[in-house]
A = this chain, B = another copy of it.
Amino acid sequence: MNNEFMPNFLLKRAFLTPKRTAIYFHDETLTFQELYDRAYDTAGKLQKLSLRKDQYVGVLLKTHLDTVIILFALQLLGVKAVILNNRLTPTELTWQLTDSKAAFLITETAFSNMGLPKQIIKEELFAVEKEIPVIQEEISLSEVCTIMYTSGTTGNPKGVMQTYGNHWWSAVGSALNLGINDHDCWLCAVPLFHISGYSILMRSVIYGMPIVLHESFHVEKTLKDLTEKKVTIMSVVTTTLTRIVDHLKEESLPNHFRCMLLGGGPAPLPLLEKCVEKNIPVFQSYGMTETASQIVTLSPEYSLSKLGSAGKPLFPAQIKIELEDGQAASKGKPGEIVVKGPNVTKGYLFRPEVTREKIHDGWLYTGDIGYLDDEGFLFVLDRRSDLIISGGENIYPAELEAVLLAHPDIVDAGVTGMEDAKWGHVPAAFIVKKEGSTLSEEELVQFCLDRLAKYKVPKGFYFTKSLPRNAAKKLLRRKLWEWIKEGSDKE
């Protein structure tokens, strides 16, 4: 089909507007031509090291200009990037590399001593003599571009396949909602290994728009660059937006700034009220790795009148709410949020059975609960019951429980989220110990730190005699959550 094929995004962008600024990183500024030239060189070096089209290759890098160049080099070669969260432990990383059959791992010195297989160290890569790379001048929209892992109720993470088309349509859907202005500039202070960050790179080349890339979020640096780099749009999560708002005091954001794109769960009322007061235009949104970023977005004019709503689905997307019996929910009635659109993943890597379970006829069953109001605005009541969002990172209780249950002294374990002033939510674990065990909280923390990224380690451990389970022995996580709410320690 004709609709399938398009020029390679960065190649085309460098051809159309070679002299436009592509990226600001610290004191460096690259045009699209310069970005292309560096990605092209790097593609030549990667090819020299035997990377080839259609391979899966792990990428474990900090957010950095080099990372941007490497990610685009992989697109030029037609290599599928398995983009790894750099806060994971060696065990977690190895699992994802094995699962994705990664032919190589591109990483950097800082991460090179974890004993991961088939490493290409960035610092050494750049010193390699390049050869002339075979560039994929044309791409198919249905071809896989990136893999990002996400967990689920089963404990094991699954690789979400994001095609070029998913990224393309996500960028276009966002553009039709936010507009594309001549002077747009997007600040990226979210990780490139998350879809929130990676999608900014794609928008940059598709729109021909500069981005300001920060290695991590710093509130002073953010405010400085919003003014100096004339940033118009920024992606934030609740925790970062809170820090910006708190830091602003009397002054307001510069006039050219037009959009705080807020992801990672609904925002608390006081925060939104403060934003209105300080004239900060907040676009709340709902999305996930499987939708290649936002799929539902709320415009600022509705941020108070539709408080708590995630908005309406972007132009190319559709949404429905389904009851447990498979019927469509009527207006106002909660059910599972089901989404469809060309930005929705075609499935999970090497897991056709999970794909078939989650995606029916193009409709993705998110597991999240919500309802549509009379005007069709989406209200997300609960991210899937097993999901904890902590400072923008997703944490899956089942994954933590599997780790805890591997401890010889633990007979049962249940994990839930608890509220936290700084991170929104953090995980808490309920533990049933073997009779006579002297296992302490300190030992448990260390046990987890050895196996889980630090942000996943439970911030609270509660020893209890039994866990709440239903007749089918299914863990009732919501009950655990109530226990915490009640402030009760069940030991």
Contact = CB atoms under 8 A, between A and B. Distances in A.
Contact of A362 (B2, B12, B175, B316): B2
A297 to B, nearest CB: 10
A52 interface: no
Contact-residue bracket for chain A: 35 or more
A341 B179 contact: no
A6 B179 contact: no
A141 to B, nearest CB: 6
Interface in A175-190: 175-176, 179-182
A142 B5 CA distance: 14
Interface in A1-15: 1-7, 12-13, 15
A176 B1 CA distance: 22
A217 interface: no
A274 to B, nearest CB: 25
Copies in the complex: 2
Contacts of A346: 1-2
Contacts of A312: 15-16
Interface in A302-339: 312, 315-318
A69 B4 CA distance: 31
Chain A interface mostly: mixed
B6 A316 contact: yes
A3 B207 contact: no
A259 B459 CA distance: 58
Nearest to A359: B2
A313 B331 CA distance: 45
Contact of A3 (B16, B138, B141, B176): B141
Interface of A: 1-7, 12-13, 15-16, 138, 141-142, 165, 169, 172, 175-176, 179-182, 206-208, 312, 315-318, 340-342, 344, 346, 362, 376
